[in-house]
Every structure is written in C-alpha cells, then in structure tokens.
Amino acid sequence: MKCIRYMSIVLLLIGFFPVQGDSKIPSMSEESDDLKIDEESDVDINRKTQESKQLVLNGVKHFMKEPVSVACNDFVHNTVWRKGELFVFVFKESGTCLAYGDDYDLIWQNIKDKKGVGGQPLINDMMHIGREGGRISFLWNNGYQTAYVKTVLKDGQKYVLGSGFFPENDEFTTKQLVKTSVAYFDQNGRESTFALISNPNGPFVKGDIYMFAYDFNGQVVAHGQNAALVGQNLIDLQDSRGKPLIRELIEVAKTKGKGWVEYYWRNEFKRSYVEKVVDPKTKTEYLIAAGYHPNITLGTVKNYVERAIHYLKANGAKQAFSEFSNVVGEFAQGALGIFVFDLEGKCLANGENPSFVGQNLLKLRGASGRYYVRDMIELAQKKKRALVSFVTRNANAVAYVEFVETPDGKFVIGAEFFPSSKTASTQTLVSRAVEVVNQSDIDVALGLLSEPGSDYVRGDLSIFVYDAEGTRLVNGTNKSQLWKNLLNATDQQGKMIVNDIITIAVNGGGWVEYQTRNAQRKVYVKSVPKKMGDKVKNYIVGSGYFL
C-alpha cells in the first residue's frame, strides 16, 4: 500500500479467513468465496462502444425530427432508447440537462460547474468534441465514463446528445486515456497537457495506469508516476530484458503515428499504447503514452506477498524491510510493491514509495472518517488474512494482507493491485455494503447506501437492498420504487427476478442473470442477517451490471 498518499481512501473490508501457523495459502478452490475476486471480464467493450455511438446517431435523427419535448420524453421513458445501461442524454449548450436516463433529478439541473479534463467545464469539452462527433472520457458518479457525443443545432439552440458507459478494462482504459490526452493537447496546447499528465492524482491517472510523454530525442517532458524524471534524457533506457524501450516507443510514434508496444517493466510484462502529437507553434513532435500490466491478478499478488513473507522469515526484518523498499530490488515487479506495518501503525517498508518508511499512520482517516490503517491492522490480527479494498486514483484498489509473527516481531504485510473487471468491482462494492449493514443501525445503513454522491455509487454500479419478503428498500439513489414489493416481478423472459435473488442470497450468495432493458444483466447478492429485537431479519444486498 502507498502508505500515506491516499488521504482520501475509503476502506472496504471484503473478506477473510483464519489460517494456522505457516500453512500454505490454499488454492482458489479451497478458499472462502469472500477471498475470491472474479477477474475475468464478460463485458464486450467493443460492442458497447459501437452501440453507444449508434444510439446517439439514431437519437440525433429523432431529436431533429421531433419537437424537443417529444424527443426528450422518448429518451427518458421509451424503452426503445435503452440498451442495458446505455441511454441517450441531452444537454443544452448552457449546461442544462434535458434528459439523462433514470436520473430524473438531474433534469433542469445545470452542469456548467462540473469540470472535465484539465479543469475546463465538462459541457465545453462535450460541445467541442461533439462538433465532429467523437468520444470523450470523464469522471461521473465516482466512476470513469466514456461517451460518444454529437453536437446539433435546432431552432437556433445548440445541444449535445451522448451515450456512455463505464468500462472496466485496462486495455480500453489505457487507449482512451491516451486519446483523451491527445484531444486535450490539440485543444489546449503542450504546457497544459504535460502539466496534467505529470499530476499523479490528476485526470490522466486510473489506478496503476499512468501517462508519460517524450520528445523524439528521448527527453521526458511529462510523467504521471515520477515527475522528477521530467527534463531527463532517457533515450538509452532499456526494459527488464534489455529492449531499447524509449527508442521503440519513438519508432512506433514516428513511423506509424500510433500503436502498441510490449515490454517488461520492473520484471513484469507490460503493454503501452502510444500516439504522436505535434505542437502547432514549434512543430516539435512528441509521443504520449500509457500502459498497463495484464498479468497482475489476485493470484499474482497472493504469491508475491507469500514470497515476501518467506523472505522475511529467512533473512530477518532488517534485511527484508530494506529489500522490500528497494524500488529496483528483488521485489520490483511491475506496479506491485510490498508494504509492512507494525501493530502500532508505523510503516516499516514500502516498495512503491520508500520515503513513507518510518511514519506512523495509525491515526490517518479516509474520506468516510474511518481509521483505515488501524482497521487493516486489527483485521489482519484477528483473521490472519484479509482483502482490503479502497478507492484511490480514480479506481478501486484491492490489497491482500497477512498477519505475520517472527522472532523480530509481529507485522502486517501486503500488496495492492487494481482489478480490471466489472465482476471484481461489483463484488467489492457489495462486500463493502454488507459491512455497512452488518456494523450500522439499519436505518443509518440504508440511508448511506442510497445517498447521492456517496461511495456506494461507482459509475453505473450502485447498491440495491430487499428484505426477505421482496420489498425494495434501496435502489441506488433512485427512490421512486422504494417500498414496492417485487417478489413476483419478472424479467423480459418471464423469469422471477427478485425471488431468484432472494433464494441465491439466503443460500450463501452468488450471481444471478436475467434479461431487462433489452440486455442481459448480471447481479451479485449476499444475505445479511440482523437481529431486530428478539428476531433475526435478513436483508438482501446486491449490485449488478449489463453484459
């Protein structure tokens, strides 16, 4: 964990199980479901990209043909204009919303103060990109959305129509980050773009995906992970296997204009997407790129942490902590880094930012007010192994931690990564909601889970809650259907959705699929028993997404 960098962390404890002594990490088939994350992506990003564009193009024709009131009513209420989570949104040039799916509260609200990339008004970015029709990426509802937008002129008034979705795919995200920064470069120039790229907490960062830029002589002009590199010439820099990395990036940008480059960075396979840009004033050519590690998964992280624990026990704390904090040492592995805390909250090792070593972080609090380091240490001691999820750098991070006792002392040791799938994001969100229902008064919990702008809304993911009789208590931030009993509700194929959800939840939890809004939807559910007076009442907590 990057011990102090995450001042805005929201802690989520998503599962744990006890282990005795030095026992080996069990195989995935032996583990509790709460210590698994489904990382395989079952969402077709390319299909959604095409569907969102076609929905907008069809919407533009409808909008230009019908009165504005008729078209917007159709976009909001007619299911013809829905495809899963996709819908047509409409904003005036002024920023006033006329239609936005199920978010009726947004209608007549103005987003002129909502910032897009680089701090400019998002509505300005939409109108600019939409002139030719194009894709724009931005933060919305605590998530990273990509949308196709098109600007139209009707009766002397300019509007922008769009449709978007929230991808959970590192390849797609990497490419979109680069394309968004290239568009920003073209609109705002070199200095502003490179300053944003070098901001480690800025809009061009998503989890462990960061951006970097070079001129064609190999000089670093921007770097999202290490701004200290700016100004250095790294033309001869090689990857972990001797490939002339910067020269190859420059060659792809120079000869092809854009493309993918594969290499090994800190001993881990990495893919970077690169595009060429040209400063219109100086005619200087640059490359802008971002990359991701496709092979870092929960299994990778567990093995990584286990290897560090064996090293600690074999070599002692002094040598181990020094090696863990060596950014080019034995434990340099892509975006991963080992972190270690003592039980008082002091950071003893950090493989991503060694400057944090020696600081006591026990009293650090996240945005929700929880002392996340303290909670992590307490859970590790109690349950021996745990997954801890938190929101940082515009993404959901997951850390795997273990409690370790050696002759040198007692420690909490772990590493973090950023899962890249809707299934993983859904599971972690539900598990966090389960913790809230478990630990809070039920009225307080239900209020938190349905609060607009809360940490329980992540893009198109939000929490729903039913009681065991099928009454809907929470439906994200949409309260229009609360208190309705939906036990006998059916999907488009006649399947009894809520009945199936309750059955799966009370029998251990799991996934349920059904057909709605002209698309296949997949939800993850868990049952939370709570004592209410002298009775126990089950609450069904879940979230889901469209395939």
Q: What are the sequence ranges of the domains in the chain?
A: 11-39+297-417, 45-165, 170-292, 422-546
CATH architecture, domain 45-165: 2-Layer Sandwich (3.30)
Residues 35-60 have a mean pLDDT of: 88
- The predicted-structure confidence for 498-540, as pLDDT tens digits, reads as follows 999 999 999 999 999 999 999 999 999 999 999 888 889 999 9
Q: Which of 8-17, 68-77, 284-293, 357-366 has the lowest mean pLDDT?
A: 8-17
Alpha-carbon gap, residue 116 to 528, rounded angstroms: 39
Q: What is the mean pLDDT of residues 389-414?
A: 88
Which of 325, 540, 289 is CA-nearest to residue 430? 540
**20 falls in which pLDDT band (50, 70, 90)?**
very low
Neighbours of 511 (CB within 10 A): 15
Has residue 173 got a pLDDT over 60? yes
d(CA 246, CA 239): 9
CA dihedral (302, 303, 308, 309) positive or negative: positive
Residue 28 predicted with pLDDT over 90:
no
Number of helices and strands (H, E) in the chain? 12, 23
Which one has a higher pLDDT value, 375 or 217?
217
Q: Which strands, in side-by-side order, build the sheet including 220-223?
A: 220-223, 211-215, 285-292, 268-278, 258-265
The pLDDT, as a whole number, for residue 419 is 85
Residue 397 to residue 419: CA distance in whole angstroms: 7
129-165 per-position pLDDT tens digit:
999 999 998 888 878 899 999 999 999 999 999 999 9
| 426-462 pLDDT, tens digit each | 998 998 899 889 988 999 999 999 998 777 888 899 9
Unique residue bearing structure tokens 């972190």: 339
In 3D, which of 214, 199, 208 has the Cα closest to residue 249? 214
Q: How far apart are CA 84 and CA 162, in angstroms?
A: 15
Instruction: Round to whole Å and give the CA distance between 174 and 295.
Output: 15
Radius of gyration (Cα) for the chain, nearest Å? Answer: 24
State residue 27's pLDDT score.
30
Say what the pTM is. 0.83
CB-facing half-sphere around the CA of 256: CA atoms within 13 A = 13
- Give the confidence band of 352 by pLDDT, cuts at 50, 70, 90: confident
Q: Within a 10 A sphere around the Cβ of 108, how many other Cβ atoms?
A: 9
**Which has more pLDDT, 33 or 288?**
288
Per-residue pLDDT for 39 more than 80? Answer: no
376 band by pLDDT with thresholds 50, 70 and 90: confident
Instruction: Decide: helix, strand or coil at residue 273.
Output: strand
- Compute the mean pLDDT over every residue in the chain, rounded to the nearest whole number: 89
Q: Would you tell me how many other CB atoms lie within 10 Å of the CB of residue 69?
A: 9
Specify whether the CB–CB gap between 338 and 415 falls below 8 A: yes
Q: DSSP string of 477-515? A: B--TTTT-B-TT-B-TTS-BHHHHHHHHHHTT-EEEEEE
Domains 45-165 and 170-292 share a fold: yes
Provide the pLDDT for residue 509.
Answer: 95
Find the mean pLDDT for residues 401-421.
94
Average pLDDT for 405-413: 97
Q: Which two tokens stand for residue 233?
A: 């010439």
The correct answer on CATH 3.40.50.920 for the domain covering 422-546 is no
**Residue 34 pLDDT:** 59
The backbone torsions φ and ψ at residue 261, rounded to the nearest 5 degrees and listed phi first, read -130, 130
Across residues 335-353, what is the average pLDDT? 94
Q: What angle do CA 368, 371, 377 make, to 5 degrees?
A: 135
Tell me which of 21-30, 111-120, 162-171, 453-462 is least confident: 21-30
> What pLDDT, on the 0 to 100 scale, is given for residue 7?
30
Give 11-39+297-417's CATH code, choosing from 3.30.1360.100, 3.30.420.40, 3.30.450.20, 3.90.1150.10: 3.30.450.20
Question: Hunting for tokens 């564009």 — which residue is that?
Answer: 53
DSSP calls for 74-109:
HHHH-GGG-BTTB--EEEETTSBEEEETT-GGGTT-
Please give the residue that has the higher pLDDT: either 26 or 151: 151
Judged by average pLDDT, the poorest of 26-40, 133-147, 247-261 is 26-40
- Domain 170-292 in this protein, CATH class: alpha beta
CA distances from 507 to 69, 496, 516, 521 (A): 47, 17, 24, 21
The percent of residues in the chain predicted with pLDDT above 90, rounded, is: 71
Average pLDDT over residues 475-496: 94
Hey, is 50 helix, strand or coil?
helix
